[in-house]
Structure 1
């Protein structure tokens, strides 16, 4: 029992401070949109059928079916079983044992005992003949120790013993550690669930963006086919050069190849999503969420972050003044201005820093549980100096015989042989008692064990400051990344609108005969680049939002509510 808590601590140590899983690689791949109103399949799907899949359904399915999570939950069940093992030491311990032995050579022991010899003299005989009463004398004979064998050739016994722990300091501490250890296993499972939610969310967003880009490429091919048809007609009428038609055909061929590549990347994106969910690859899925619904309100998000838009400056030198926002109640204008400046630079404001709760991060809560276990382990080592008290009881039977068959006759105290003599061969025995074990000196082993436990506890305590700094850094990085992604999205959205307008005007000018074909090709190329950048920026914002929610400890709650 004294080593129980150490076993718990060593079993719980791996993975407590493990860093979060690597971020999912950005994959610009597409998929298909399902009609609205399809029935939801929560947590299961029939292989071969079409499975409608929203982001919430994908997360729920992954949390219930991801193989790595299932393995983690098995570890949680193992923790509960180990807790039961610890508690079982406080229940009565009952044992039944039976033994059978053939003493083919009985052990002998030397026994020394005095032998008295009666002395009969002639005078004693004469006196007795004369009718006198005579008391005979005795004398001791000096004999060497004689060997004697105790027992018979065949022997057996059966007994039942019971022991009950009355006091053990290590056991009492182990009971406290049991609940802490079970809580630790649950937190490790929750940490694994957060990783799965992050991976599935990023894979789902990647598939949404890829799907929209594939549909956009299809529209671009259709639009280019229209321009190519019109240009070919003008060429046949003699009002355009063959070079104009060839340029458009080259551009169309390149666009078709790009569309084919996007289609293959779409399939890979869906396969990645299935993998992150733990869904069989042969299961057909149909995404039900639209990208428009997934894209969050950038303005509301900026307001929550306390930053301005890229067009109003964002606090960057050379882009205009810092935008003014209403200061919270009880906050001075100067403090509000400092908070805005810190927010624009990617840091956490004074207000948000004060409100930030490290316990929202499962890593911090897990480290607190590990600290509690380390403290209990130290107390367990010190409790090794306490005495251990047990109550014991035993009852059984033992028997012996010179012949094997007679050993199982089981003759009791009322048994008699043919001559009327008792011939009992099995005898009962029983005892009750207390067992007190007092450790006196163990060669300073416990002293060094206490030192090791104390150092382990101090090591865990040193980890708190490192973890706080790591969480602060992740918070600042995720905030800065999200703000930067929002700025890029605003710029790319404006660039897309400008590129679309330039392409529209270029096509009109070409159709009216006042523009060149080369101008149309160049405008279409820039439009496609702007489209690609825009959807890439959308994906960056979605991924940055997931990272931000994870850094603040809100990802799991938002994904599972």
Structure 2
């Protein structure tokens, strides 16, 4: 029973750690890939990687946008007014004998229109220059996030790939057991037919054989699902046919290999570089807020026409030109104490980001220590389980031989087969755990790039 369920935790772990979609992979096909091919395919088609590449392009456009703000900006403004009823005002009657007498008069024309074109040029604005630097830092952040997405994709594909290989190995071992049990069952039935063996011997071995067949069927279904999960992590259509060209033996753990967990550098972790970039952004935010004390200077030039007429038909027959050239200066001398507190808030944010960098360094060291411990424990358990499986295989073969010679019972055969099956499950589990923990260790030390 253990054999049917031992891979579920790993499949759930893989499906819950990184959930990726598909991008630009609508055409199914047939693929024969090794691990390197799967990773390469994923880096081209996996949804998060594709979006991360688009983020890099987006950041490049932001740099161009920030640069374009320093270019001249032109605009045209126009209006049309129909004074349905001109406003009436009272003015002294200078034509009469009494200047205190007021008479109602109306000024202006019913129709008026104007059109003005203006060019504005920023001469100095601290926000523009700081924004240009910030956009370049943001591009660096986007590139680092793209790299982190690539690393996460490599890890997810690698773990899913190992899961498929472990399922294949489990099926291979189960089929080997089935072939041995099938031979033993056939021989036992033949002995029963001639009266040498008992019916209980046939039934016991038949039960073991049926269990192995069911295990193989269950593991085949697990293999189909784990392959689907691998394609999902790669961004490959589920309709595509994927065949792996490697077996789990190609990734056997070297018992003499010891990972160097002393001379690694925390700076090699992509998260360390991302945090450094975040510090640079916080520094620019603080600098931008401080430079808001500086004045802003801009210039403009415009030219336009004004039109007036008592009737709409005469409105645009004659225009009056107008033009202006000028400078505009804005200098926020005092804005209360609001900006002082904003600067202090940004300084606190900057200090926090620096503290986070120091904390991240310690966190990486702990992650490496934990990953190394898990890897060494899994590798030691793998070596033990591999030896146990080999010993149990030998025991099983000798029990079968004794059973055929009539000096062992069918209960001994089924018990030995159960022990062998359990040893094989533990071996494959230990192998998968070792491969996955080695991947986690390489990621913790920044070796996966």
Q: TM-score, normalised by structure 1?
A: 0.73
Shift of 1:144: 5.3
Shift of 1:44: 8.1
**Corresponding position of 1:154:** 111
**Corresponding position of 1:530:** 423
**Corresponding position of 2:295:** 387
**Corresponding position of 1:269:** 226
2:40 to 55, 60, 82: 60
Using a 3 Å threshold, how does the CA distance of structure 1 residues 296 and 428 change in structure 2: closer, same or farther? farther
Shift of 1:517: 2.2
Using a 3 Å threshold, how does the CA distance of structure 1 residues 25 and 374 change in structure 2: closer, same or farther? farther
Using a 3 Å threshold, how does the CA distance of structure 1 residues 158 and 490 change in structure 2: closer, same or farther? same
Which structure 2 residues correspond to residues 31-70 of structure 1 after superposition, within 5 A? 47-70=27-50
Query: Any gaps of 5 or more consecutive residues in structure 2?
Result: 1-7, 13-22
Which structure 2 residues correspond to residues 465-504 of structure 1 after superposition, within 5 A? 465-504=358-397
Shift of 1:143: 4.8
Query: Any gaps of 5 or more consecutive residues in structure 1?
Result: 1-23, 29-42, 118-139, 306-347, 410-424
User: Which 10-residue stretch deviates more, 153-162 or 191-200?
Assistant: 191-200
The alignment yields a C-alpha RMSD, in angstroms, of 2.3
Query: Could you report, residue by residue, the CA deviation over 1:397-431 in whole angstroms, capped at 9, with x for unpaired residues?
Result: 1111111111133xxxxxxxxxxxxxxx3011111
Q: How far apart, in 1, do the equivalents of 2:87 and 2:368 lie?
A: 80
Using a 3 Å threshold, how does the CA distance of structure 1 residues 108 and 451 change in structure 2: closer, same or farther? farther
Using a 3 Å threshold, how does the CA distance of structure 1 residues 102 and 168 change in structure 2: closer, same or farther? same
Using a 3 Å threshold, how does the CA distance of structure 1 residues 86 and 215 change in structure 2: closer, same or farther? same
Q: How far apart, in 2, do the equivalents of 1:214 and 1:47 lie?
A: 30
Contact 1:157–1:398 at 8 Å: present in 2 too? yes
Answer with 1 or 2: which has the greater Rg.
Answer: 1
More helix by share: 2
1:515 to 399, 405, 408: 408
Shift of 1:479: 0.6
Q: How far apart, in 2, do the equivalents of 1:44 and 1:102 lie?
A: 57
**Corresponding position of 1:433:** 326
Query: Could you report, residue by residue, the CA deviation over 1:130-172 in whole angstroms, capped at 9, with x for unpaired residues?
Result: xxxxxxxxxx974556655443111111111011111112222
Q: TM-score, normalised by structure 2?
A: 0.90
Shift of 1:365: 0.7
Contact 1:165–1:390 at 8 Å: present in 2 too? yes
Using a 3 Å threshold, how does the CA distance of structure 1 residues 507 and 554 change in structure 2: closer, same or farther? same
**Corresponding position of 2:71:** 91
Shift of 1:491: 0.3
1:236 to 186, 190, 193: 193
**Corresponding position of 1:443:** 336
Residue-pair matches, total: 432
Query: Could you report, residue by residue, the CA deviation over 1:417-455 in whole angstroms, capped at 9, with x for unpaired residues?
Result: xxxxxxxx3011111111111112212221121122111
Contact 2:253–2:379 at 8 Å: present in 1 too? no
Contact 2:90–2:105 at 8 Å: present in 1 too? yes
Secondary structure of 1:27's aligned partner: helix
